[in-house]
Structure 1
């Protein structure tokens, strides 16, 4: 049965129809409703337009919309809970359960925020760092250039031109011309000489000079860019005769300008002008106008306050500087009349004294004595010392005695008296005077300030009054010091005196401390090192002789005495000292080894063998066996050395140096397999011995097993983490193999694991390209400010840049921080060989010999070579410096 078709099917929808609106659906607009894009002039499709008539309800809605647009968005209308528009559900009351619910939600939000806070902050920090790395600030991009500003000298700063237009005036203003009038006498002179020049080129007077004018006039160019009027016709060469004429003409013009044309009298004599100038020899560097101003100002000060001593002193010194010595004397004597003594509150005693002292200084010898005597009459509480200096010995003693009667509270009078007696050979009176000074000053209520007296003693030391400074030290060194703090305080005082270059004061402190603590080994050692560094060999040996008498068990004191005798060439005396040391310290390893070294260094090999044999029987230590093996090895007895090494390893298999020597002997015999076996056995017993790992790795690299060497180093780093020496060897292994990228990668990992390693930073600097080395060195100094390897690298950088002064300064800083680093001494010595004098070279060599360095990669390679076992420090220094390369 056919159904009848609905009449509305297929018919267009009425305007404003929205499907499903009755069921609660909302309308939407599709592309088919909008249609294609239209031009602004196209007719409007009103299919979905609202009805044309507007009702009262529509007008009310429009007003409501306008009210919504005019909503007050001021901050005072903002509610934290409801916002600007108020609550959407403001019809109901805000009850207590709503408040509790909001509080619970707020607590949950806060708790969740705290849980994510650390992660969020870390992520934000990483994003900021990444952004700054990708887009650095302008100041970061020019940080390396800003560092270079520190190297700019003052002259370079002053030579920087001012900001502005660099063009000259003629280029900035083409119409600008400066016409200099020339006197008629100039043209008359040239007309008389037959020359027909009628104009002067202004370009000839640009730099204060005046040349022969060019006949073509002002606007005629010069041929060939040459200066006209100064060339010989036809040749184009300069005419020296005309240059002289031009110079004389210029002088005539200047003399004419300074002449007096009104009265007819010439102010400047043209003929005697230069002679008068030569007769004027300036005696000061200031301008005459400045001197006049200073003189007027000082005169005003003197008239305003005539009792002000500094004004008179300054006036006298001004006249002295300008060469008017008599005027200066008159002024200062007038100053002594105006302020002879302290009469008014604002004049200090010291300032009044200064006026008299200045007067005495400006006067000749006899007059100065009279001035000081007059000053003492006006100031009975001062100036006695100045008078004593001007008198003879007998008169000076009388003056000082009278001074003590008038000023019983001044310590300087007593010290001056002690210095006076010492200067005249009465050293036995010095101690008595200082003791009386302490007693007298205390009786007069003067507090004995220990620091002030020590400072006075240092001044006496620098003045050459040794007995006085030592007497002062003995008198005051124990004042105000607790008994338990005496040793520590006295050692600090001695170090302070050494720092102030008051060596006799320090020697007196050590002598006094040794009297109080005669059995203290540490005090004897400090005193011995002081004599070694600042004294003579005789003073050192005398001190050590006393030291071993009080501390016979101190091995180091015996060894220092024996070494001093040995270095002086007195080998029998050194043997006798060691024999006495054996009696006081039987079975002492240090004394045994010192005796062996003494005999072997003096080619007494049989004596050394016998001593080592006795030592192995009486004091069998690992070091004794090691020295026994080394003696046979360096003497060429390889079989005996191997036999002793095997015997030693039976007793001391955990001593890595024995395994190292065994493997090195096998390497010397070119038995790589046995050497590898020795190193591997040693590493099983001593897995934390870094030199053993390095020797094994280098052996594999030497035989061409690069992969095995790399694996050995990786294994060593696992067993010994955070070891910079192993990382450095890994980096160098890859660099020697030509794999620079891998070397750089390993260096980055090494610096992450050992960020404060100086040897790694110094190697990283030279792994960089030359332009980036300076920036890398700055980073290294931030991490390792006082590391000697980094300081040495910076010195080498300055050396490579030919900055000699800075390089020498950094070399000095390096050896001062670590004098035991032999590599630093070697580089320093080679630097002086290239850029220093012979005296500087010998100074570095002498300092190295005194320091006796024992460490350093390059230094140990040479010093531990068996071919150099008998060479001294100076010889090793020369050998190491010869092996260094100039390229860094």
Structure 2
């Protein structure tokens, strides 16, 4: 049964296979008759059959076969390059050069050499042309011709520098990018950036010809893309670029960039540029940029005016064109132009600002000689009226802009005011500020906002705008003394003496109780040499502030400095009777001490101490008179002792008492007093510094270092102690010590001065000068002056003196000792600075 089933199955499969072969015969069976017909093909027909290409897209392996070269070939090649230097007998008979050929002619070796040189020259020219095709654009080959006998070394080296040698990785990247861009432009030939990128790649690879071919195809496929045309013009030389852009205009005639590029190709030929731009305006009459470029090429104002008049007719909404036309017109015509512009563009704030500037220029313009001859000189009243018209114009402009829903923010208006200031129109700037500075502000926020605006404007050096904001703020808040003080400081720094005096006069009228404003006004007049004016100001200040301590003392200082000692003494007596403050009593005692009236000074001090027993300076002055002027050590000790009992928290009293004991050769008691002072006033750097100095003067350097270390633990941010610590270290250790000091107290002027002195010691002059900073410590100013004496010029020394006078230093151990001494009473800051610089060691 199994065999029968197998037989039936095989018969069935054989029938199916036969049927299948009948329907789909094999290729061998299909071409069997053709194969049989090949027997009749002749040899000529066989040789005429073309070779079949490799359709599998696979690289076939080549069977590289090598053959052994026969020895005869090697021997022949070896003799090929040899030269025969000897002549045979026949050549010697013919003169050595010309030999008869087989046909009887003579062989000329000179001509053969010339021909060889010519061939070599041609080969060098070919090499040169091949090299120049591979060089980057702009580089030149050193081999101009094969016959050249000289080479420009500079040009040759430049060409070598410009040839970029690409690495294998770069070459691989270029190949991969080339394949990608090739696929991109083939799959999407209408994609302009693809053609541009492919051309840039070829340019980067040094194949400029291929890049030009690619961009040419890009222009053919993307004729509406201005970028493709511009790139094509860039890749070609000037003449070819003109042709390319001329073709571009046929396809993208509305492209402003194409026309501008075509005008740029004309170079310095103004007529050609003007011709191109005017042709462009025929195609694109509504392009503001083309009109501007065309006007800029005109050398005659009349022609430019005609062009702009036509431009504003074609493009009436262009503010820039209206403003340019107004600038070229006469003042009367400019007003008419701006009126037309305002009607055409009612939403432009630039037109209103330009109108204000025009009015300001007319008001402040100097009359010409012809106007002076004809008597057409404007009076001051007329000028003031015209300047008021500026404010009205800007106010009207702001109002009209709001009607047309043009809502510029307050910050934007301030920017416009700053721009007007930069362009030389201060009254327009003030008008803009006056009309807009209070916009969008709540009433309770106005003062703080305006103060912040003034500070911000001063930081950006916008003085006129800051002055205008201050002026408006003073109109709103005339009773704010701080605003008047800011205005006075502004005028003192950036204004004139007359403007400062005017501001101070208004300030003293609006805020008569502000003592500092009266004092500033009197001082400014005194500095200018107007002593009578200063007295007048102080008299008016007395009437307003009869009990003002500062005004009384200012009057006394004025009279004492000008030699009116009797008047000063009388004023002090009246001040003690009227005001009677502790400072007035102290100044009275100091005045008598400076006049060497020690008995009167001591009497004044006794009375003052009975009135003000807690005022430490009275005890200091009393002790100093006994110690230095009268040499009465016990009385001085008693004065300091009484002061310490009354004012135990005053560190200067402890220091003076310690120095008195040290002067009396009682160092142990001096140390004891300082220790008591440190207990009474903990964390006081001056007491610790004095303790260190006592140890140094006693010769105990180890004890001084230990005391200094304790002081730094107690006062870790003390600039005075850190400065002493830096100088106590050996020279190699001072720099690292100064770094630690800057980390602890970087803003301390003593630390900065110490770092500057370290640079000074290392002869780093510029760094030392950069480290100097203005402060109220007079010792720092003294070191700066000493430094400029050694390394600076007279100009630098004048700068130090001027800045020191402006800073008015009060502190500093040596400075206070000089400025407050009787010998230097009434001296100027500059004189004290010179003396301090002389005493510094």
With the shorter chain as reference, the TM-score category is 0.5 to 0.7
The answer to whether structure 1 residue 842 and structure 2 residue 798 are counterparts is: yes
The answer to whether structure 1 residue 791 and structure 2 residue 791 are counterparts is: no
2:496 and 2:626 map into 1 onto residues whose CA distance is: 47
How far off is 1:672 after superposition? 2.4
Could you say which residue in structure 1 is the equivalent of 2:735?
774
2:255 and 2:824 map into 1 onto residues whose CA distance is: 75
Superposition map of 1:421-570 within 5 A: 421-425=359-363, 426-570=386-530
Q: 1:523 to 1:698 in 2, by over 3 A?
A: same
Could you say which residue in structure 2 is the equivalent of 1:670?
631
1:793 and 1:358 map into 2 onto residues whose CA distance is: 60
2:273 and 2:767 map into 1 onto residues whose CA distance is: 46
The Cα offsets for residues 235-256 of structure 1, whole Å up to 9 and x where unpaired, read as xxxxxxxxxxxxxxxxxxxxxx
355, 375, 378: which one aligns with 1:417: 355
8 Å CA contact 1:298–1:311 kept in 2: the answer is no
How far off is 1:633 after superposition? 0.6
Could you say which residue in structure 2 is the equivalent of 1:579?
539
The answer to whether structure 1 residue 651 and structure 2 residue 607 are counterparts is: no
Could you say which residue in structure 2 is the equivalent of 1:403?
341
2:354 and 2:144 map into 1 onto residues whose CA distance is: 65
How far off is 1:559 after superposition? 1.8
2:725 and 2:269 map into 1 onto residues whose CA distance is: 66
8 Å CA contact 1:765–1:776 kept in 2: the answer is yes
1:585 and 1:596 map into 2 onto residues whose CA distance is: 16
Could you say which residue in structure 2 is the equivalent of 1:386?
324
The answer to whether structure 1 residue 364 and structure 2 residue 299 are counterparts is: yes
1:354 and 1:743 map into 2 onto residues whose CA distance is: 79
Structure 2, unpaired ranges of 5+:
1-141, 156-160, 165-202, 212-229, 237-243, 364-385
2:722 and 2:278 map into 1 onto residues whose CA distance is: 68
Could you say which residue in structure 2 is the equivalent of 1:760?
721
Superposition map of 1:265-344 within 5 A: 266=148, 299=234, 341=286
2:454 and 2:696 map into 1 onto residues whose CA distance is: 50
8 Å CA contact 1:258–1:267 kept in 2: the answer is no
1:758 and 1:311 map into 2 onto residues whose CA distance is: 68
Q: 1:516 to 1:306 in 2, by over 3 A?
A: same
679, 698, 705: which one aligns with 2:640: 679
How far off is 1:768 after superposition? 2.4
Could you say which residue in structure 2 is the equivalent of 1:62?
none
Provide the secondary structure at the position in 2 that maps to 1:427: helix
Q: 1:514 to 1:258 in 2, by over 3 A?
A: closer
799, 809, 823: which one aligns with 1:867: 823
8 Å CA contact 1:795–1:806 kept in 2: the answer is yes
2:777 and 2:255 map into 1 onto residues whose CA distance is: 60
How far off is 1:742 after superposition? 2.8
1:644 and 1:580 map into 2 onto residues whose CA distance is: 29
1:339 and 1:267 map into 2 onto residues whose CA distance is: 55
1:334 and 1:771 map into 2 onto residues whose CA distance is: 77
Could you say which residue in structure 2 is the equivalent of 1:623?
583
How far off is 1:368 after superposition? 5.1
1:260 and 1:370 map into 2 onto residues whose CA distance is: 55
654, 657, 662: which one aligns with 1:693: 654
The answer to whether structure 1 residue 632 and structure 2 residue 592 are counterparts is: yes
594, 598, 611: which one aligns with 2:554: 594
702, 708, 720: which one aligns with 2:681: 720
How far off is 1:662 after superposition? 1.0
Structure 1, unpaired ranges of 5+:
1-256, 278-285, 342-351
The answer to whether structure 1 residue 731 and structure 2 residue 663 are counterparts is: no
How far off is 1:850 after superposition? 2.4
2:260 and 2:744 map into 1 onto residues whose CA distance is: 54
TM-score by length of 1: 0.62
1:735 and 1:363 map into 2 onto residues whose CA distance is: 82
Could you say which residue in structure 2 is the equivalent of 1:748?
709
Superposition map of 1:144-159 within 5 A: none
2:709 and 2:703 map into 1 onto residues whose CA distance is: 10
8 Å CA contact 1:825–1:877 kept in 2: the answer is yes
Provide the secondary structure at the position in 2 that maps to 1:833: helix
Could you say which residue in structure 1 is the equivalent of 2:188?
none
Could you say which residue in structure 1 is the equivalent of 2:767?
806
How far off is 1:495 after superposition? 1.9
Could you say which residue in structure 1 is the equivalent of 2:811?
855
Per mean C-alpha deviation after superposition, the further-off stretch among 822-831 and 853-862 is 822-831
Could you say which residue in structure 1 is the equivalent of 2:563?
603
771, 781, 795: which one aligns with 1:825: 781
8 Å CA contact 1:497–1:505 kept in 2: the answer is yes
How far off is 1:406 after superposition? 2.1
Q: 1:267 to 1:324 in 2, by over 3 A?
A: farther
How far off is 1:369 after superposition? 4.9
The Cα offsets for residues 722-759 of structure 1, whole Å up to 9 and x where unpaired, read as 11111222223333434333333333322222222222
Per mean C-alpha deviation after superposition, the further-off stretch among 736-745 and 460-469 is 736-745
2:304 and 2:487 map into 1 onto residues whose CA distance is: 47
Could you say which residue in structure 2 is the equivalent of 1:31?
none
The Cα offsets for residues 516-543 of structure 1, whole Å up to 9 and x where unpaired, read as 2222222222222222222222222222
How far off is 1:665 after superposition? 0.9
Provide the secondary structure at the position in 1 that maps to 2:433: helix
Provide the secondary structure at the position in 1 that maps to 2:486: helix
1:746 and 1:330 map into 2 onto residues whose CA distance is: 89
How far off is 1:410 after superposition? 1.4
How far off is 1:555 after superposition? 1.8
2:269 and 2:827 map into 1 onto residues whose CA distance is: 68
Could you say which residue in structure 2 is the equivalent of 1:147?
none
The Cα offsets for residues 324-376 of structure 1, whole Å up to 9 and x where unpaired, read as 777877777787778765xxxxxxxxxx7556545544553446556655654
Q: 1:260 to 1:552 in 2, by over 3 A?
A: closer
Could you say which residue in structure 1 is the equivalent of 2:171?
none
2:567 and 2:604 map into 1 onto residues whose CA distance is: 18
Whose helix fraction is larger, Structure 1's or Structure 2's?
A: 2
Provide the secondary structure at the position in 1 that maps to 2:682: coil
2:696 and 2:454 map into 1 onto residues whose CA distance is: 50
How far off is 1:720 after superposition? 0.8
Could you say which residue in structure 2 is the equivalent of 1:708?
669
TM-score by length of 2: 0.65
How far off is 1:459 after superposition? 1.8
Per mean C-alpha deviation after superposition, the further-off stretch among 375-384 and 427-436 is 375-384
Could you say which residue in structure 2 is the equivalent of 1:217?
none
825, 832, 837: which one aligns with 1:876: 832
Please provide the CA RMSD for this pair.
3.6
